[in-house]
Each structure stands twice: as structure tokens, then as C-alpha cells.
Structure 1
Amino acid sequence: MLDEQLLDDESGLIAADPSGSLRALAGAGAQVRMAMQATAEAGINRIVADGRPRAVVVASLGGSAVVGDVLTLLAGAGAPVPVSVRRGMPLPGWVGPLDMVVAVSMSGRAPGPLGLAAEAARRGCRLLTVGQARSPLAEVAERTGGVHVPVPPAQNAAARASRMALWALAVPVVRVAFELGLTDASTQVLERVADRLDAQADLFRPSSEAFVNPAKSLALELSGSVPVVLGDGDVTGVAGARAVSMLARTARVPAMRGALPDDAGDVVATFDGPLAARPDDIFADPEFDDPVGTRLRLLLLRDAAPTPDRPDGSWLETSRTADAVKMTAEDAGVRVTEVSAEPGHPLERLAGLVALTDFAAVYMALAGGIDPLTSPHVADLRDRTH
């Protein structure tokens, strides 16, 4: 269980966070602005001047994997060219000089993106790389006529972690995609994203008490449970995937995720499994009378409704399914936390949801006595696989 007193102790939270994870998340808006500037200075005209490629392949994995999800989300089903994501070698055989490969790695040394970038260069593809300056990934791009966008220098240990630098990694890819006509995420949209992230950072700040801080409240609600994170559409599906990753890597909490409508059956099937509440007393309140032991908690992410990218018909269909899943959970005695996105461009809506779950994951770690940044078991795994 979490130390609730620590959650309301600003100085205690800061002392428990020597790597600066909260500070790194609070700088998300600044990440957007610095990444926009770095992209402009990198000379992306070299790879966008020839117009749209035949296809775009994004190479990203680990903490950077969400970049591919973001681009796929923004391009959507109506993208003028195919957009696909690869986590590792090999590069598909059909990829050639008419295509663009985007390789993303915070350190610039991840074998998957690095190998795909090198192979893309050998095949004569247009190449965009994002990562540390003067890294092997940067050298591949610079040596072969590609464009490398460097991430800003890290201000603390947490800022060097790819999962804490989502916007520094994603914004260059979004900017290039806009210039190629693959998305409508313009400079103005990115500026609004930065503003929203600033507002969220202020709302979720360590000095804000739990009863008025949605991120701290969410951390308390998820404490001691196995979260089932369900998104009701494309935006919330990406947000759910990000939430599950942050809960695992940052708070050390395993979680299941899904997106509607496809995963409704898989999610509700867990409601009569071994981790479901199933109180015997018909008067039992699942919020206060849950049986001893770890139980499911449904975290239902709801998109703003309706929006231009989600017309009435599409929104109503997924909204009805989400309502049905929620009612099924409540009937089964499964606790439900519901979060709704604020209106705006899909990237703005995603940013708001991601900020909430990112901060909640860090607060869960700190109040649980865990270093959000460093996992000894991840370090062991890295040593054993290199």
C-alpha cells in the first residue's frame, strides 16, 4: 500500500525522487518546444523536399516504442501512404529508395533502431533519426545523407530515460510527418500540446494535495490492485498502452490493456476470474468491503465526445460499448476508475491522458518506496543479454 502521508509531503516526495522523475515529467511542455526548435535546426528540408515517400517505416522499441504508436494514430486509416512500425531487424524486403525509415532511440545505441537505420541507408532510403547527438545513430544518418534530430541535453538522470522523454522523441517525427502531408499536427497544434502539458504539470504538481490532485488520487485508487486499462478508441488506446508501460517500468505494477471495440470480450472475461471481487454479501460495497488480496481495478479511459476525427456514429458505438463494460464491471464487483480526455486535437487529448497516468505512475512508485528510474532486475536483464 502507498504511504498517503508522503503523497501530501512535497519535500518528502522530492527527497524520495533523487533521479528527478517528477521534474522530468513537469518539463514535458518544454520538451515539445525544444524539440520543435531542434527539428527546425536539423534541416529536415533534405528529406521532405522530394515530397511524400511511398511508405514510412518507424523503428522504435522500449521506452521509445510509443513514438510509432503516436505517428500511426495521427496518420490514421486515411493516411495517403502506409505507415508501419518495426521493433527490430530485419527491415522488410519491400523497403527501398522510394520509402522513408524513421529510427528513434534516446541513447542512439539501441540495436534494433540502429540496425534498421543502417540497413535503410544501405538500401538508399530517406532516413530520419532521433536520439542523442554524436551517437552511433546520429553517425549513420549524417554519414549517409539522412537527417538526425538530437534530443536536448539531459538536465538530470530521469531526463536520460526514454520513457521520460516521450515528447522530445515524438515531436521531430510528428513535424516531419506534417511537412510530408501525412498528418494535420501543425506547429500550432504542437504549441497547444505544449500549453496543455504545462497546465497538467501545474495541476499534478507535488505541492498539490491528493484530494485536489487527480494524479495522486489515481495513484491511490490503483494502489494494491491489478489495473485493467481499457481505452474506448484510437486516442485512448494509445494512452492505455503508454499507461501500462509506465505502470510496469516506473511503478513495478503489472497491468493488462485493451482498446474498444476489439478487446471488450477479453477484458470482461477477467471479471469472473481469480482476481475478481465477487463479494458474497449483497450489501457489500466494493469500495470499502473488498475481500483481502489483490483485486482487479478497471481504469476506463474515455475520449472527448464527439470530435471531428470521431464523428457521432463512431463515438456513439464505442461509447455504448464502454458503458456496457463499465456496467458489467460494477455488477461483478470490480472497482472502476473512469477518466475522460479534454476536447482538442487528437494529440492534445493524448497529451492530457498521458500526463495524468505518467504522474500517477511516478507517485505510485515514490509512495511505495520505489525508485521510479532504476530497476535492479532490468539492469540484470540488460547485463545478461549484452
Structure 2
Amino acid sequence: MTWLDEARLDDVAALEALDRKEALRSLATSGAQVRRSLLAAREAGIDSWSPQDRPRSVLVAAIGGSAVVADVLDLLAEPHSPVPVTTRHSAPLPGWVGPLDLVIAVSQSGRAAGPLALAHEAARRGAQLLTIGAADSPLADVCARARGTHVDLVSTASSTRTALWSLLTPALYAAGRLGLVEVGEEVLESVATLLEARADECRPSSESFVNPAKDLAMAFSGVIPIVLADGPLAGVAGRRLASGLARTARIPATHGTLPDAAAEVVACFDGPLAGAGRFGAPRGPDADIFADPYLDAPATLPLSLLLVRDASPDPSRLTRVEADRVNLATAVAESARDAGVKVREIEASAGAPLVRLASLMSLGDYAVTYAALGLGVDPTDSPHVADLRRRTDH
């Protein structure tokens, strides 16, 4: 069984030696990414867009680590957008997309096959095109030929996970200018400020007992995590965190969002990986008080529940649906504890929806990076992923 090395997490030199592509440093630039990307979006001409230019529909083309751009736009547009916002990871482009529609294609390298193919087809049909990615890339070239709007990527980060805000900010700014989401420059500035504060509290020199990301990383040690979100906003952050555990820290994780995932999560508490299930170690009067949890524990890793929660709302202003979801989250956590499953909760900061989302995603990004480093692996280089690319490169 492999455990995270807390001593390594507090050894700045050891972290720097493992973090060869400087993932932590790239995450620390997130606030700057917001501000620089906003400037790049203005320079590209998006500041001249207005609700009068609103398209019939918006399709976001993104894949892999960039797909969170589509998730965030879909989340924020749902309550406000007067036109539908849909997502697509690869070709074919839906038949209804035409000259009245806007396609936003996102790719850090500008070479991702799915978004590139969708941008090609959108250009062929005469759709409006906004592309976000590397300058002088195939994606930028497609956009130029279609007389669309291309925003150059401002981050030099080695992965889409650490370049997130360079990809997300132009798309959010454009959607805000079109009146699809309530995200203006003030909200983006608040996000940048939050991300800078997160970078300070999660810096490598900050020790585990005061560093929230290192502390959360330790919660993933020697367990099989279930990431459960208490609603749609937390659900986007929860999906990203579970993906980051697998892709960055090499820790397999499952995730779900309440209320739909409640039953399937709670059912696991009676299974072989739960502490008090039919297959687990005895609890209560039949428990062996001298049992060593490390030497005498089952060979399998135990379950752990990470509950990702939106900011605590004012109870007097909760809708019935929101109140039911809060109560359900509390009930699932209580059920987990009764079953002997470790429970950890993280909660969003107060503020606008994008600020709350940024607070959860940023903490998760730092935590999975520290989890990888605590396990002694490079957070940005996976030999098996590289091997898969070689096997599938035609």
C-alpha cells in the first residue's frame, strides 16, 4: 500500500526536484492568466461584442483538459442565457449549426483533432467562429481563413490543467459580452484576486498544517476516494477534482452529483470497502480494540468520501429544492460516518457563481498536484500516457 509522504510535501527542494515542469509555479500564475487573457481578448476585438450580436446558439468544442471550458460555460449560461449553449468533443458538427450560430473552439496547442475538425466544419458552413489556443497554430489558421476571432494563449504552462484560466477567461468574457452569462470584468477581477490569494496560501513553502491544499492531499492517502458534489456548481468542480486525481495523482476516483448520485454512493457503504459493511472489520461490541488499523486491516484500500459543497446559503432564502439538497448532503455524510467511512468536506468561498467555482477548482488543482508529489510522481509526466500516444500515433 502506498502512502503520501508528508515530509516530502514540506521539503521545498524535494518538491522542486519532482515538479520538473513546474506545475505548482504554473498554478500560481492563474490570477495573472485571468488578467493577461482578458487583455488578449480585448485586443482580439471581443470588447466590441454586444447582446445585439447574439447568435442563435453557441456550441463549445473542447476535449480533454480543455473540456472544463465547456462545462463552466454550460453551468453559468443555464440560468441566464436566452439562447442554447451546447458542447461537443469531436466531429461531426451537428447538422443544425449554420451561419447564425457561434462555435467556440478551444485547444491549448491549437492542434487537438476534435476541436480542429469542428472548427473546420463550422468555417465551411459559414458559422461565426471564436478560437482560443496557441498562436500560429492550425486552429488559428482555420479561424483566420474564416475571418473569425482568435485569442492567443497567454500561458506557457505545460498542460491544459495548469493553463486553465488562459483558456477559460476569453470564452467567459465573450459570453458575458453577448449577454449569455453574468460575467463581466468586475467578476473576472474578483476571480483573479481569489486565485492570487490561493497561490499564497498554497505555496510550496507553506507547511502542511497551514496549507489547505497539502492538508487535502493527505486525505487521499491510502484510500479510494468518492467525490460527491452537493449541486450543479460543485458538480463541475467535483468532476474536475476526480479527473485530476486520476490524471495528475494517478489515484482512481469516482464522482457524482446530488441528488442523482445519493443512492449509488450510499450503497457502497455496505460493501467490501466500507469500514462497517458486511465485509468490513467488526464495529461496536464485536470490534477488537487491540486491532492495528495498518497491520490488521483488510488488504483492499478503504473508501473515503470527499463532499464538495457550494457556499453556505442563507437558510431563509433557500428554495425547497436547495433545502432538500443541503439536507441530503448532510444525510449522506452522516451515513458515511456511521459506516466507518472517512468523510472530508470542502466548501466554496462566498461570492458570484464564478468566484465560488474558482475557489473550489483552484483548491482541487493544488491538492491533486501535491498528492502526486507526495506519492513521488511528476504531476505532468505519465509514462503510460506517453506510451498510449505512441501506440495510437498514426
Give the structure-1-normalised TM-score.
Answer: 0.94
CA distance in 2, matches of 1:98, 1:307: 41
Residue 104 of structure 1, CA deviation: 0.4
Match of 1:361 among 364, 368, 373: 368
Residue 326 of structure 1, CA deviation: 0.5
Match of 1:29 among 28, 31, 44: 31
Q: Does 1:300 align with 2:302?
A: no
Equivalent in the alignment of 2:103 = 101
CA distance in 1, matches of 2:44, 2:389: 32
Residue 307 of structure 1, CA deviation: 6.8
User: Contact conserved, 1:243 with 1:354, CA < 8 A, in 2?
Assistant: yes
CA distance in 1, matches of 2:144, 2:181: 26
In structure 1, give the amino acid aligned to 2:66: S
User: Contact conserved, 1:229 with 1:301, CA < 8 A, in 2?
Assistant: yes
Equivalent in the alignment of 2:187 = 189
Residue 335 of structure 1, CA deviation: 0.7
CA distance in 2, matches of 1:48, 1:107: 29
In structure 2, give the amino acid aligned to 1:320: N
In structure 2, give the amino acid aligned to 1:111: A
User: Contact conserved, 1:56 with 1:100, CA < 8 A, in 2?
Assistant: yes
Match of 2:245 among 224, 234, 247: 247
User: Contact conserved, 2:80 with 2:181, CA < 8 A, in 1?
Assistant: no
CA distance in 2, matches of 1:180, 1:311: 30
Match of 1:375 among 369, 382, 385: 382
Equivalent in the alignment of 2:197 = 199
Residues 211-267 of structure 1, C-alpha deviation per residue, up to 9 Å, x if partnerless?
Answer: 111111111111111110011011100000110111111101110011111111121
Q: How many residues get paired?
A: 379
In structure 2, give the amino acid aligned to 1:95: V
Residue 93 of structure 1, CA deviation: 0.6
Q: Which moved further from structure 2: 52-61 or 291-300? A: 291-300
CA distance in 1, matches of 2:374, 2:303: 20
In structure 2, give the amino acid aligned to 1:379: A
Residue 14 of structure 1, CA deviation: 1.6
CA distance in 2, matches of 1:307, 1:60: 36
Point out the structure with max Rg over C-alpha: 2
Equivalent in the alignment of 2:219 = 221
Tell me, what secondary structure is at the counterpart of 2:15?
helix
User: Contact conserved, 2:30 with 2:163, CA < 8 A, in 1?
Assistant: yes
Q: Does 1:313 align with 2:320?
A: yes
In structure 2, give the amino acid aligned to 1:317: D
Residue 311 of structure 1, CA deviation: 4.2
User: Contact conserved, 1:306 with 1:315, CA < 8 A, in 2?
Assistant: no
Residues 160-205 of structure 1, C-alpha deviation per residue, up to 9 Å, x if partnerless?
Answer: 2111111100000000000000011110000000000010111111
Question: Which segments of 5 or more consecutive residues in structure 1 lack a partner in the other structure?
Answer: none
Q: Which moved further from structure 2: 310-319 or 244-253? A: 310-319
Q: Does 1:166 align with 2:189?
A: no
Residue 383 of structure 1, CA deviation: 1.6
- When residues 359 and 153 of structure 1 are mapped into structure 2, their CA distance, relative to the original with a 3 A threshold, is closer
User: Contact conserved, 1:47 with 1:127, CA < 8 A, in 2?
Assistant: no
In structure 2, give the amino acid aligned to 1:369: G
Between the aligned residues of both structures, percent identity stands at 54
- When residues 333 and 262 of structure 1 are mapped into structure 2, their CA distance, relative to the original with a 3 A threshold, is same
CA distance in 2, matches of 1:203, 1:46: 37
CA distance in 2, matches of 1:314, 1:200: 31
Tell me, what secondary structure is at the counterpart of 1:191?
helix
- When residues 376 and 282 of structure 1 are mapped into structure 2, their CA distance, relative to the original with a 3 A threshold, is same
Question: Which segments of 5 or more consecutive residues in structure 2 lack a partner in the other structure?
Answer: none
Where does 1:341-356 land on structure 2 (aligned, <5 Å)?
Answer: 341-356=348-363
Q: Which moved further from structure 2: 16-25 or 48-57? A: 48-57
Q: Does 1:63 align with 2:65?
A: yes
User: Contact conserved, 1:106 with 1:160, CA < 8 A, in 2?
Assistant: no
In structure 2, give the amino acid aligned to 1:177: A
Equivalent in the alignment of 1:124 = 126
CA distance in 2, matches of 1:326, 1:91: 42
User: Contact conserved, 1:109 with 1:136, CA < 8 A, in 2?
Assistant: yes
Equivalent in the alignment of 1:19 = 21
User: Contact conserved, 1:306 with 1:312, CA < 8 A, in 2?
Assistant: no
Equivalent in the alignment of 2:341 = 334
Residue 36 of structure 1, CA deviation: 0.4
In structure 1, give the amino acid aligned to 2:220: L
Equivalent in the alignment of 2:9 = 7
Equivalent in the alignment of 1:280 = 282
CA distance in 2, matches of 1:325, 1:299: 11
Residues 273-329 of structure 1, C-alpha deviation per residue, up to 9 Å, x if partnerless?
Answer: 2322223031769xx847343111100011112279x84434312100101111111
User: Contact conserved, 1:131 with 1:151, CA < 8 A, in 2?
Assistant: yes
Where does 1:62-101 land on structure 2 (aligned, <5 Å)?
Answer: 62-101=64-103
CA distance in 2, matches of 1:359, 1:373: 13
Q: Which moved further from structure 2: 310-319 or 32-41? A: 310-319
Across the aligned residues of Structure 1 and Structure 2, the Cα RMSD in angstroms comes to: 1.8
Tell me, what secondary structure is at the counterpart of 2:332?
helix
CA distance in 1, matches of 2:151, 2:171: 9
Tell me, what secondary structure is at the counterpart of 2:109?
coil
- When residues 48 and 135 of structure 1 are mapped into structure 2, their CA distance, relative to the original with a 3 A threshold, is farther
In structure 1, give the amino acid aligned to 2:357: L
In structure 2, give the amino acid aligned to 1:366: L
CA distance in 2, matches of 1:47, 1:122: 23
